[in-house]
A and B are shown apart, each in its own frame.
Chain A
Amino acid sequence: MSSVIPYTVEKRPDTGLNNVKIGIWLFLASEVMLFGALFGGYILLRVGSTEWPHGSDFGLSVPLAFVNTLVLISSSVTMVMAWASLMRKDTRKYKIYMFLTVLGGVGFMVIKSIEYSAKFSHHYYPETHNFLALYFTLTGLHALHVVAGMVVNAYLLWPGFKMWETNPQQFTNRVESAGLFWHFVDLVWIFLFPVLYLL
């Protein structure tokens, strides 16, 4: 007996959403709770501390982090352009924009690794200070999310692209979901940057 999974492409009449859209938003809701808890930890440790260092005390570079912010904002733009290209059935532009998105992720990780190696060379580790514990936890978890997004985007660019031949609408929906995740990851960085580098 064969069974077909319903609402992979068409929307459920009661929710107005298909499976992938409701799935990604449930996942993102759990991610909000995860990062929200860590931000809560940051606030508690900071207000409970008599003295709190500035990021520059540990050599955090604002210009470098600002460049990383620009890289992520640009990659969000290319991500949404990749999705828009698919809706216009322009697969050549889709591949260009998606490649640029993956490249943006690589650029972010390269800059982040430069920053991490500078900290380690100065013997700044998570156990050195509560600020650094929070810095490494928050940016490390965020970096893991960037890597996960890059893996998904690279899959949709190369091996996963064959779905476009058989089910273009479902593939477009997958790219949209990957784009929602990528935007969420970038949005987290927009909050992390001022919290760790500026305030």
Chain B
Amino acid sequence: MSLKAFHILFITVCTVFVAGFGIWAWTQHGLQAEGPHLFLALCGFGLAVALPIYGIWFLKKMKAVSFL
């Protein structure tokens, strides 16, 4: 597996993580209004959108490089 393939795997795992983190922070915001949880939830959801966009851009940029 090349760095290109591993990077795509990494970005995929990170996307799942930040989406889960966003849900966790949103839930915490519902339980306790004070604190940075709303901001953290927005960061998590924002990254869950941004990372796949970056991943597609990266795949297009590295089209010529092998996955092996």
Chain A residues proximal to chain B, CB less than 8 Å: 16-17, 21, 25, 62-63, 66, 69-70, 73, 76-77, 80, 83-84, 87, 176, 179-180, 183, 186-187, 190, 193-194, 198
Contacts and interface: CB of A to CB of B under 8 A. Distances in A.
A62 to B, nearest CB: 7
A66 B43 contact: yes
Query: Chain A: interface secondary structure?
Result: helix
A176 B54 CA distance: 20
Interface string B2-44: 1110110010011001001100110000000000100010010
Interface residues of B, number: 24
A97 to B, nearest CB: 13
Given A176-B2, A176-B3, A180-B6, 10 more contacts: A62-B25, A62-B40, A77-B54, A84-B62, A87-B65, A179-B3, A187-B10, A190-B14, A193-B17, A194-B17
A187 to B, nearest CB: 6
B55 to A, nearest CB: 10
A80 B57 CA distance: 13
A183 B17 contact: no
Contacts of A179: 3, 6-7
B60 interface: no
B7 A183 contact: yes
A183 B65 contact: no
Interface of B: 1-4, 6-7, 10, 13-14, 17, 20-21, 24-25, 36, 40, 43, 47, 54, 58, 61-62, 65, 68
B20 A194 contact: yes
Contacts of B3: 80, 83, 176, 179-180, 183
26 contacts: A17-B68, A62-B25, A62-B40, A66-B40, A73-B14, A76-B7, A80-B7, A83-B3, A84-B65, A87-B65, A176-B2, A176-B3, A179-B3, A179-B6, A179-B7, A180-B6, A183-B3, A183-B6, A183-B7, A186-B10, A190-B14, A193-B17, A194-B20, A194-B24, A198-B21, A198-B24
Contacts of B58: 80
B10 A194 contact: no
Contacts of A83: 3
Nearest to A76: B10
B36 A63 contact: yes
